[in-house]
Amino acid sequence: MKFTPEKPAIYGETLDSLTASLTAAGQPAFRAKQILAWLYKKRVRTWDEMTNLPKDFRTWMAEHFELEPTGFVLDRQSGDETDKILLELGDKSLIETVIIRAPMLGVGVDKSRKTICISTQVGCAMGCKFCASGLAGLKRNLSAGEIVHQLIQVCRQEDAHTPRARAELASFDNIVVMGMGEPLHNYDAIIRALTIVNAEWGLGFGARRITLSTSGLVPKILQLAEEPLGIRLAISLHGATDEVREQIMPINKTYPLADLLPAVKAFSEKQGRMVTLEFILIEGINDAIEQAEKLRDIAYDLHAHVNLIPYNTVEGLPWKRPSNNRCERFADVLRAAGISVTLRREKGHDINAACGQLRLKTEKARETEAGCTA
Ligand code: SAH
Ligand code: SF4
């Protein structure tokens, strides 16, 4: 389903696009910078707070741009480590944005880090068999403004934890594009959003601290390799042979390893960056030693980091994580060859499993409520 909002979200505008819209409407070009400063430096919530803009211009802006494309629904904390924020969009769709206060994803295991995980679609079309986000298919793409606004909402939530000072996005270590959705299936919006997140006139967050994860859309990986933005890339591999991978990831039929791996290499070489291979360990599916050996060879050839993630159970799906011993033995095969590898050991509260589940639960509850009142 395509959602066409009445007005474009102001958070989806770049300095160039906003300047062009304003000058076309007969406004001075410098107003664009003023507006962006109110949004990103002062983080105001209403047009009326933009006090250096003439009142009739503020009214014009309110008529032409949506200021708050997402609304806060609930914030669920699991221990001290994760904070799941549920947001509602203009068409009542729900998305999740997550704050993780823990070591994660090969970005450093020695100290606690604060990472934000953002969504790019409502649902997902890729249909990976193990994933909660794709269970009900794709509902729609998020707009660039909806993607950026998730980070504004995170800063607002974080304010509650920082009583004296206002929380800045810069206080976070990393942003990972690993929430609901396949980011490269919504290519233009995610690139535009990350451009805004990175820009000095926007959120000013370093591109090297942003990691995008993809299930492997080969032509889009090659396109991303040409982008000047300079973000990091993670690949959801989850199978080291076509036979195993296509059992759990239908996209492998369109883009098998023979196409995917050279594209990853091209990205790594063009961008001069080490890529991360994510490998969920699922009992009896991809946890055999032969898979570890194949993964080792792939990682060696790509000079990639490997992130092993014991599977997190999803309600209604049969898959399980292997025992700790089995996971360790799998990791040892890679370690013995000198591959850079991380294995997450902690139980529960996994962000990827969590992503999508809070939304599904809330939607189910809503359906039940609707059922009761009908
Ligand atoms: N669509 C993109 C990004 C979102 S998914 C992608 O697939 O890469 C982010 C990561 O979470 C992916 O590596 C995905 O395979 C993983 N994931 C999904 N469900 C999971 C689960 N139940 N347990 C552990 N990881 C999971
Ligand atoms: Fe989509 Fe990623 Fe889940 Fe696959 S793992 S269904 S690509 S969100």
Domain boundaries, the chain: 10-64, 70-373
Cβ contacts of residue 21 below 8 Å, gap of 6+?
A: 13, 64
- Span 85-112, average pLDDT: 76
**Is pLDDT at 217 greater than 70 in this prediction?**
yes
Tell me the CA–centroid distance for residue 131 and ligand 1, in Å. 6
Confidence band, pLDDT 50/70/90 cuts, at residue 367: low
Q: Is the CB of 278 under 6 A from ligand 1?
A: yes
The encoded tokens of residue 160 equal 């509650």
DSSP structure string for 271-314: HT-PPEEEEEE-TTTT-SHHHHHHHHHHHHHHT-EEEEEEPPP-
pLDDT at position 76, please?
79
Tell me the CA–centroid distance for residue 215 and ligand 2, in Å. 7
- Rounded Cα distance between 37 and 66, Å, is 17
Tell me the CA–centroid distance for residue 181 and ligand 1, in Å. 9
pLDDT at position 365, please?
57
Give the fold, CATH level 3, of 10-64.
DNA polymerase; domain 1 (1.10.150)
The total of other beta-carbon atoms located within 10 Å of residue 355's CB is: 24
- Span 2-14, average pLDDT: 90
- Span 2-26, average pLDDT: 93
**Is pLDDT at 113 greater than 50 in this prediction?**
yes
- Rounded Cα distance between 327 and 325, Å, is 5
**Is pLDDT at 211 greater than 80 in this prediction?**
yes
Ligand whose nearest atom lies closest to the CA of 182: 1
**Is pLDDT at 357 greater than 60 in this prediction?**
no
Of 163-167, 268-272, 289-293, give the lowest mean pLDDT range.
163-167
Tell me the CA–centroid distance for residue 267 and ligand 1, in Å. 21
Tell me the CA–centroid distance for residue 120 and ligand 1, in Å. 13
Q: Is the CB of 236 under 6 A from ligand 2?
A: yes
The encoded tokens of residue 6 equal 């009445």
- Residue with more model confidence, 312 or 236: 236
pLDDT at position 160, please?
75
- Rounded Cα distance between 121 and 184, Å, is 10
Query: What does the DSSP 8-state code read for residue 42?
Result: S
> Are the C-beta atoms of residues 349 and 78 closer than 8 Å to each other?
yes
The encoded tokens of residue 148 equal 């950026």
Ligand whose nearest atom lies closest to the CA of 127: 2
> Are the C-beta atoms of residues 147 and 189 closer than 8 Å to each other?
yes
**Is pLDDT at 280 greater than 50 in this prediction?**
yes
Ligand 1 atom nearest 126 alpha carbon: 1
Q: Is the CB of 131 under 6 A from ligand 2?
A: yes
pLDDT at position 314, please?
87
What is the identity of the amino acid at 254? T
- Span 4-8, average pLDDT: 87
User: Which of 352, 357, 359, 360 most suits a substitution to test ligand 1, by most atoms within 8 Å of the C-beta?
Assistant: 352
Ligand whose nearest atom lies closest to the CA of 126: 2
- Rounded Cα distance between 76 and 148, Å, is 21
Task: Look over the chain and give the mean of its residue pLDDT values, rounded to a whole number.
Answer: 89
% of the chain at pLDDT higher than 90? 75
* Closest among 216, 211, 151, 221 to 176, alpha carbons compared: 211
- Rounded Cα distance between 20 and 340, Å, is 47
Q: Is the CB of 121 under 6 A from ligand 1?
A: no
**Is pLDDT at 3 greater than 90 in this prediction?**
no
- Rounded Cα distance between 18 and 26, Å, is 12
The encoded tokens of residue 54 equal 């003439």
- Span 22-48, average pLDDT: 96
pLDDT at position 374, please?
28
Tell me the CA–centroid distance for residue 9 and ligand 1, in Å. 28
Of 64-78, 105-119, 323-337, give the lowest mean pLDDT range.
105-119
Q: Is the CB of 104 under 6 A from ligand 2?
A: no
Cβ contacts of residue 88 below 8 Å, gap of 6+?
A: 70, 71, 73, 94
- Span 213-231, average pLDDT: 98
Q: Is the CB of 96 under 6 A from ligand 1?
A: no
Same-fold call for 10-64 versus 70-373: no
Ligand 1 atom nearest 278 alpha carbon: 13
- Residue with more model confidence, 4 or 253: 253
**Is pLDDT at 348 greater than 60 in this prediction?**
no
User: For the segment 147-171, what is each residue's pLDDT rounded down to a tens digit?
Assistant: 999 999 999 988 877 766 677 888 8
Chain centroid to CA 115: 11
pLDDT at position 312, please?
87
**Which residue has the CA at smallest separation from atom 14 of ligand 1?**
236
Q: Which residue bears the tokens 């507006």?
A: 35
Instruction: Please identify every residue annotated as catalytic.
Output: 96, 355
Q: Is the CB of 99 under 6 A from ligand 1?
A: no
Q: Is the CB of 133 under 6 A from ligand 2?
A: yes
- Rounded Cα distance between 59 and 126, Å, is 42
Give the fold, CATH level 3, of 70-373.
TIM Barrel (3.20.20)
